[in-house]
């Protein structure tokens, strides 16, 4: 007995409608989790700011207050990491970078590496800007050049080399600045690891900064920063956490 066409169409429509509903639900859930991850990150950044302000004011109960803030930060970070594992496919590279930095600061290098590697993979997507990819590569490079259990100078330098190649040669002042910053952070990371090759990279950073227009806002302060750095010996060169990814020389943060 032939099945009426109307019944077949109705069945197909029902199945299609159910598929769309499931897709819509999953997308909505993913977006909600993304927002929750970012809310946790904002709370963490706010706590870090408040802790920094405590360092300046030095209240009588500084150690107690600082410890309480750090305890709250640890809880927020645990929530953010748990949510991120459920929704990492839809997080942006910058979400992953921030999660990686906070996790690295907390001493969880394994999770930090996972976040940084995700940031680099996601930065290959078409809609992601070159500068975002540069930032992701810098963080991963700094991670490998750091003193953690995954210390790998070759892999770390490869990440920085790729970051440099993405913007080097572009006459746009901002890309000149980005290239110089990549060289500088690469040099700082090598110096922090005791590698004598740091100086050549910082000298290259200086040459790149010199190519900036004279009126470029960050030209002068960045040249002063690298000149001060070049006056040091290898032993005196200390990299900020993740090679200055947070403590960069004067200028807009490229991340």
Q: Is 108 within a domain?
A: no
Q: Is 158 within a domain?
A: no
Residue 46, CA atoms < 13 Å, CB-side half-sphere: 8
- What integer pLDDT is reported at residue 41 of this predicted model? 75
| Tens-digit pLDDT profile for residues 33-88 | 667 777 877 777 777 777 777 766 666 666 767 777 777 777 778 878 888 888 77
- Going by C-beta distance under 8 Å and a sequence separation of 6 or more, which residues neighbour residue 202? 183, 184, 187, 188, 191, 226, 229, 230
pLDDT at 232 exceeding the cut of 50: yes
| Tens-digit pLDDT profile for residues 109-137 | 999 999 999 999 999 998 899 999 999 99
Q: Is 50 within a domain?
A: yes
DSSP class of residue 234 equals G
Minimal CA–CA distance to 237: which of 200, 207, 182? 200
Q: Is 210 within a domain?
A: no
Residue 249: alpha-carbon gap to chain centroid: 16
Q: Is 190 within a domain?
A: no
141 membership: H or E segment, kind and range: helix 130-145
Q: Is 40 within a domain?
A: yes
Q: Is 254 within a domain?
A: no
Share of the chain above pLDDT 70, in %: 73
Q: What is the mean pLDDT of the chain?
A: 80
Q: Is 54 within a domain?
A: yes
- Going by C-beta distance under 8 Å and a sequence separation of 6 or more, which residues neighbour residue 97? 115, 116, 119, 135, 136, 139, 255
DSSP class of residue 244 equals T
* Sign of the alpha-carbon dihedral angle for 16, 18, 21, 23: negative
Q: Looking at the 3D structure of the chain, how many domains does it have?
A: 1
The domain of 67 spans: 34-91
Minimal CA–CA distance to 104: which of 122, 92, 117? 117
| Tens-digit pLDDT profile for residues 150-175 | 999 999 999 999 999 999 999 999 99
């Amino acid at each position: 007995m032939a099945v009426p066409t109307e019944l077949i169409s109705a069945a197909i429509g029902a199945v299609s409608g159910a598929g769309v509903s499931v897709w819509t639900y999953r997308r909505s859930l993913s977006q909600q989790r993304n927002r929750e991850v970012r809310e946790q990150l904002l709370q963490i950044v706010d706590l870090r700011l408040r802790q920094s302000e405590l360092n300046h004011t030095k209240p009588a109960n500084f150690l107690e207050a600082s410890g309480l803030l750090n305890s709250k930060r640890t809880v927020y970070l645990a929530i953010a990491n748990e949510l991120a594992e459920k929704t990492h496919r839809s997080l942006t590279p910058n979400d992953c970078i921030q999660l990686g930095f906070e996790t690295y600061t907390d001493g969880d290098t394994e999770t930090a590496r996972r976040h940084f590697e995700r940031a680099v993979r996601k930065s290959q997507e078409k809609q992601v800007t070159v500068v975002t990819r540069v930032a992701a590569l810098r963080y991963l490079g700094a991670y490998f050049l750091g003193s953690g259990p995954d210390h790998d100078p070759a892999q770390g330098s490869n990440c920085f080399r790729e970051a440099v190649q993405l913007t080097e040669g572009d006459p746009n002042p901002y890309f000149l600045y980005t290239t110089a910053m990549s060289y500088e952070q690469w040099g700082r990371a090598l110096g922090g690891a005791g590698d004598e090759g740091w100086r050549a990279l910082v000298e290259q950073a200086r040459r790149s900064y010199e190519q900036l227009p004279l009126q470029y806002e960050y030209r002068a302060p960045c040249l002063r920063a690298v000149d001060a750095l070049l006056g040091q010996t290898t032993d005196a060169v200390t990299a900020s956490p993740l090679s200055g990814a947070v403590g960069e020389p004067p200028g807009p943060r490229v991340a």
